Amino acid sequence: MATDATPLDDDLVILLPAQVAEIFRCSEWWIKEQARKERIPYCKAGGSYKFSRQHVKEIARIFSHDAATPAPANPGRPSKVPRKPRRTTVAPSSESVQLVARIPRRAQAARQQAA
């Protein structure tokens, strides 16, 4: 595996996940995971992730934290996940039924044999 970018022409340079991780100073696993979850742009040729210079610029834009123009946290995903309402506790009423434990099957069988 080559460690340098492979130039195809002046405009197109293909980078591997390890090279992109080195640029962003993060792990190669993180880059692959973000691509797998489609949070960052990529090209998948030959069964592996590939990145162009344009992809790297877009990744930097997606994850930049500029106060003037905030980037979306998860592009293409809803910002908030709808949650179920919390369960409300019901105060015991005077009409509550007392629960009675069931007799285990072995004990029932022993009673029937003894009788």
Most confident segment among 47-56, 80-89, 91-100? 47-56
CA–CA gap between residue 26 and residue 61 (Å, rounded): 16
CATH number for the region 6-62 comes to 1.10.1660
Close Cβ partners of 21 (under 8 Å, ≥ 6 residues apart): 27, 28, 30, 31
3-state SS string over 90-103? CCCCCCCCCCCCCC
CB 49 within 8 A of CB 32: yes
Tens of pLDDT, residues 28-55: 999 999 999 999 999 998 899 999 999 9
Most confident segment among 28-32, 71-75, 108-112? 28-32
Could you give the percent of the chain with pLDDT greater than 90?
A: 51
Q: Where are the chain's structural domains?
A: 6-62
User: To which H or E segment does residue 44 belong?
Assistant: strand 43-45
